[in-house]
Amino acid sequence: MKKTILLSLLCANLFGFAENLNTFSAHFVQTVTDDKNTVIKYSGDIKAKRPDMAMWNYVQPVKKEIYIRNEDLVIIEPEIEQVIMKKVGNTIAFFEMLKNAKKVNDNLYKATYEKLKINIHVKANKIDSITYLDELENKVSIQFTNQVENKNIEDKVFKARIPADFDIVRQ
């Protein structure tokens, strides 16, 4: 769970280092590899909008929606009919940190968030992937395809639609 939240916060704010990038949407494949080379793959779609909104729609291997809007984080897990709601506080200041990500070359930027060292890979001037080691030393790679930049995304996309019969857990 902590990895999912951290990843969501990371990507909600990732796009700050590109000054003219106001919205971003893409398909993603997230691969997590542990120290025994066990691999778990997730896939879905992301939409992000400045200054601090994002929506991750996981479709494989399980359905999950993650919404970030201002300081609010909402995770909807349909398979267990549960919603987790929490305040993420000042963590969103990460947007400023990535705005100052260091350019290594035309295809790589490096950033640091808390103790994570994040590599942001760029191809044809678009964000291609993100790689890092998480707090459990798992290798995490998020590969983006079908990237669309600066296309209008209405704010209502980032508002969670919570089914009335789901349990709500507030953290």
Which single residue is written with the structure tokens 């280092």? 17
Q: What pLDDT is recorded for position 79?
A: 95
For domain 2-170, the CATH class is mainly beta
Whether the full predicted model's pTM is greater than 0.75, yes or no, is yes
CB count within 10 Å of CB 75 equals 23
Q: What pLDDT is recorded for position 52?
A: 82
Give the sign of the dihedral formed by CA 73, CA 75, CA 76, CA 82: negative
pLDDT at position 111 is 83
Output the pLDDT for position 49. 86
Cα 62 to Cα 77: distance, rounded to the nearest angstrom: 9
What is the spatial distance between Cα 61 and Cα 65, in angstroms, rounded to a whole number? 13
Question: Residue 94: its pLDDT value, please?
Answer: 40
pLDDT in tens, the chain (171 residues): 555 555 555 554 444 455 677 888 999 999 999 999 999 999 999 998 888 888 999 999 999 999 988 888 999 999 999 999 998 765 443 444 456 678 899 899 898 776 778 898 988 878 899 899 988 999 999 999 999 989 999 999 999 999 999 999 999
Domain ranges (residues) in the chain: 2-170
Residue 14, Cβ density class (10 Å: 0-12 exposed, 13-18 middle, ≥19 buried): buried
